[in-house]
Amino acid sequence: MLPQLWVASALCAVVLSAPTYSPGAAERPADMKVLSDYFHMLGTKVQAGRAMAEAPICDLSKAVLPVATATPLPAVSAGLTLKHVAIGRGTQNYSCTSTNATAAPVSLGAIATLYNATCVASTYPDLLQILPGVALEFNLTTPTQQTLTPSNLDISGHHYFSNTTTPSFNLSTTAMDLGFALCQKNNTVPAPAGSVVGQDGVGFGAVPWLKLTTRTGATGNLQEIYRVNTAGGNPPATCVGMPATFEIQYAAEYWFFQS
């Protein structure tokens, strides 16, 4: 195949499609910054791809879990291997039940749709890194939306909370079943400085990076799950002016490790 053709097909079939804008999205200046970075990088990949002799291989063993430089999360436990990388796009939900205006919102958990980014992780890690920030600019139309706007990454599962201390991941779709896991928090570190704080560049910050471990009964040999390169999701510091429950849009990379 001609290099141009495999680049086009690799970018279209595996990584990203032509953008599809949601109405109004392009009118917001901060969006334009994050989107122009994205399309600049995409353009660079296409240029670089034209110079390559062979199509990139989506080799998961080449994907490297991002590390927060200031305060890293504990490393992946020995003997585990990477099984899947997903972009999660959804909301963090909070409650403000107290009438005490200085009280902080309480987390009710998150609900997100997961999109298969394993090939981007192994082939274009720099593009993967900015995808949560790009994806944050486009709200899901439904929790079952098939592809992640503005990419063409396909749905690979769902993330939700079984109770407030049990993040859960269902990696079963009509295409494939990679497992199901109820998890618990193992460690958390602040999102690095410079993370995307919210939609349109406005918000209360990016949710922390996390290491989760699976609870007994997980399937698909799922053992450890990392949430990294977070964008948005943090609540305001206090409940002042907030309703009893509310949601904050967020996106993140989720890295799944198996035994």
Binding interface with ligand NAG (CB under 6 A): 14, 25, 58, 77, 84, 91, 93, 100, 102-103, 108-109, 111, 116, 118-119, 137, 139, 156, 161-163, 165-166, 170, 172, 175-176, 178, 180, 182, 186, 199, 213, 215, 247, 249
Fill in the amino acid letter for 151.
S
Which residues, in sequence order, are CB contacts of 244 under 8 Å at separation 6+? Answer: 95, 96, 97
CB 256 within 8 A of CB 222: yes
CB of 83 to ligand NAG, least distance (A): 9
Rounded distance between C-alpha atoms, residue 74 and residue 71, angstroms:
9
CB 228 within 8 A of CB 255: yes
Query: How many CB atoms within 10 Å of residue 133?
Result: 24
The nearer residue to ligand NAG, 137 or 253, going by C-beta atoms, is 137
Q: How far is CA 47 from CA 11, 50, 58, 70, in A?
A: 12, 5, 19, 33
- The separation between CA 213 and the C-alpha centre of its own chain, rounded to angstroms, equals 18
CB of 19 to ligand NAG, least distance (A): 14
The nearer residue to ligand NAG, 142 or 163, going by C-beta atoms, is 163
What are residue 168's DSSP bridge partners?
A: 160, 182
CB of 63 to ligand NAG, least distance (A): 12
CB of 163 to ligand NAG, least distance (A): 4
Rounded distance between C-alpha atoms, residue 162 and residue 166, angstroms:
5
CB 250 within 8 A of CB 110: yes
- The separation between CA 4 and the C-alpha centre of its own chain, rounded to angstroms, equals 29
